[in-house]
Amino acid sequence: MLALESDFFNSSPRKTVRFGGTVTEVLLKYKKGETNDLELLKNQLSDPDIKDDQIINWLLEFRSSVMYLTKDFEQLINIILRLPWLKRSQTVVEEYLAFLGNLVSAQTVFLRPCLSMIASHFVPPRVIIKEGGIDVSDSDDEDDDLPSNFDTCHRALQIITRYVPSTPWFLMPILVDKFPFVRKSERTLVSVSRQDIEDAEEAAAQTCGTDTTEGLFNMLQIGK
């Protein structure tokens, strides 16, 4: 895994159609009061038809400009965190994971939004099913992509924890908020509790050596 991550930390830009200057130029212009290029950048990132190569190029530029991505660019970061990265090619996934690591290591102010985004992917998407002629909203727990998505999200948490060892303490309340266990299927519960929380516990124990393990596992008692 480390070798693969290292390869993508040094990816090269790909040829794509784009408008406006580089990310660094756009961010610096915004600091000077010029907002047009930033709005153009946000619109391109929000394009529902955005291609894999475009996402890869943007992520590469954001990683090289991460020192400029301060709290002033919270709206831009939120757009990046909404990119459909899990449903893309493996190259996009690896670049996105590398971006998350770079972002939280340089701008810890975005740690919580990153963790919240990752945790949201542990929740199966909502689907509408028919019951007696009535539309009912339910969790798509049988989505074939769920196991792969869980594994990728666990990797994302591990990468972030590597850069920010205090991650488990920020992750705990987010998990509690995202997972009122009594409303989740057994498949979702097992996938989250066994891997994600155990990873958080291990990191917590290594960084502080306190009784955090007991506190984290107390969350599992909610649905029992």
pLDDT at 53 over 70: yes
Specify the long-range contacts of residues 75-79, CB closer than 8 Å, at least 24 apart: 75/42, 76/38, 76/41, 76/42, 76/45, 77/103, 77/110, 77/113, 78/113, 79/42, 79/45, 79/46
CA dihedral 199→202→204→205, nearest 10 degrees, is 170
Sign, Cα dihedral of 211, 212, 214, 218: positive
Q: Given pLDDT bands bounded at 50, 70 and 90, which one contains residue 44?
A: very high
Mean pLDDT of the chain: 76
Tokens 């995202």: give the residue.
178
Q: How many Å apart are CA 194 and CA 202, to the nearest integer?
A: 12
pLDDT digits (tens, 9 = 90+) for 64-123: 999 999 999 999 999 999 999 998 999 999 999 999 999 999 999 999 999 999 999 887
Tell me if 160 sits within 8 A of 100, measured CB to CB: yes
* The overall pTM is greater than 0.85: no
Q: What is the pLDDT of residue 200?
A: 56
Classify 118 in phi/psi space as left (phi over 0), alpha (psi -120 to 50) or beta. alpha
pLDDT at 45 over 50: yes
Domain range list for the chain: 1-106, 110-224
pLDDT at 187 over 90: no
- Alpha helices, H only, the chain: 2-8, 23-31, 36-45, 52-64, 74-81, 90-106, 111-120, 146-163, 167-178, 186-191, 198-208, 212-217
Instruction: Check residue 23 and report its DSSP letter.
Output: H
Percent of the chain with pLDDT over 90: 52
Q: How many Å apart are CA 159 and CA 170, to the nearest integer?
A: 15
Q: How many Å apart are CA 197 and CA 127, to the nearest integer?
A: 27
pLDDT digits (tens, 9 = 90+) for 153-173: 999 999 999 999 999 999 988
Q: What is the pLDDT of residue 11?
A: 55
